[in-house]
Amino acid sequence: MKNFSDKLAVITGGGTGMGRELARQLIAEGCDVAICDVIAENMAETKRLCEAEAPQGKIVSTFRCDVSSETDILIWRDHIKSAHKTDHINLLFNNAGIAGGGSFINDDRDHWERTFNICWNGVYQSTRVFLPMLIASDEGHLVNTSSINGFWASLGPHFAHTAYSTAKFAVKGFTESLVNDFRLHAPHVKVSLVMPGHIGTGLATNSRLVHGGKQAELLTDAELIAQQRQITASGTPVDHLSLEDIRKIVNSFGNDFKNKAPVTAVEGARMILDGVKAEK
Ligand SMILES: NC(=O)c1ccc[n+]([C@@H]2O[C@H](COP(=O)([O-])OP(=O)(O)OC[C@H]3O[C@@H](n4cnc5c(N)ncnc54)[C@H](O)[C@@H]3O)[C@@H](O)[C@H]2O)c1
């Protein structure tokens, strides 16, 4: 696919980060865009940015859909068919993901499975649901986002990192195996796998919210004490600090993850789209 003009791209997790920047860059290149997310206000901001930059007549549709639910994805697919008046799509970016589920031993099972189900089932089920619409196009491209943690199941010696790593290894294996399957059975559809390192996005902040956590400023004393214990247990002793200092540290996790990364979300999205055009 050498250009995106007059194509339709479906993007999961378009509320912030690489999903938002993919949407903005695609619509600027003349592509219609359909995005989903679970954080409605972020998705509304992506829509506003896209519409401000869109060439005339280009459409960006949004839908609240939890990619870990096949039912949600099926309803979103039907919404796309009617919003874009189409039975086919050209691009599918399985981008939505959250961090979490660090310890298989200590973490709550719901927390572990939420991470795994979004990062793996979200990719699997979305591919299942949208594949017939991709294959129905003259030209199609599937892009699945794994992670550096799909190469190494580790964040370093002080952290367990099981659910996210397990899911991202699965995304890598699934996507690599599809390359030959598509070559044999749907050669007009290409496949790319994205293995990002650290990209400056909302991942740290959004993951806390999707797991039911609060913004740092709303944390109670009991929650701050729990955070203090967790940070100390992970190798950085903070038990001597005040709870207000702990609140600042929790707040800085999200901001530092976004603002101190070696690669921005804009740059990450550009690399992904260049990779699609080059069939990498
Ligand atoms: N940022 C990094 O350093 C990095 C590194 C490796 C891999 N990744 C992967 O890149 C992808 C994009 O993440 P990002 O870094 O842009 O983070 P992000 O948090 O900015 O974007 C992810 C989006 O997915 C949405 N989302 C979360 N759960 C969802 C669900 N159940 N259904 C629908 N949407 C949901 C979030 O609300 C958010 O808008 C993720 O798969 C992530 O695991 C990111």
Q: What is the pLDDT of residues 88-120, one digit of tens each?
A: 999 999 999 999 999 999 889 999 999 999 999
On the question of pLDDT at 76 being above 90, the answer is yes
Residue list, ligand 1 pocket, CB within 6 Å: 12-13, 15-19, 36-39, 42, 66-68, 95-98, 118, 145, 147-148, 196, 198-199, 201-203, 206, 210, 265
Q: Which long-range contacts (CB under 8 A, 24 or more apart) does 268-274 make?
A: 268/18, 268/21, 268/196, 268/199, 268/201, 269/18, 269/21, 269/22, 269/24, 269/25, 270/21, 270/25, 272/18, 272/22, 272/93, 272/143, 272/192, 272/194, 273/4, 273/22, 273/25, 273/26, 273/29
On the question of pLDDT at 275 being above 90, the answer is yes
Given the candidates 3.40.50.360, 3.40.50.720, 3.40.367.20, 3.30.565.10, the CATH classification of the domain at 8-201+263-277 is: 3.40.50.720
Check residue 234 and give its pLDDT.
80
In ligand 1, the atom with minimum distance to the C-alpha of 145 is 41
% residues pLDDT > 90 (the chain): 91
Check residue 215 and give its pLDDT.
85
Q: Where in the chain is the domain with CATH 3.40.50.720?
A: 8-201+263-277
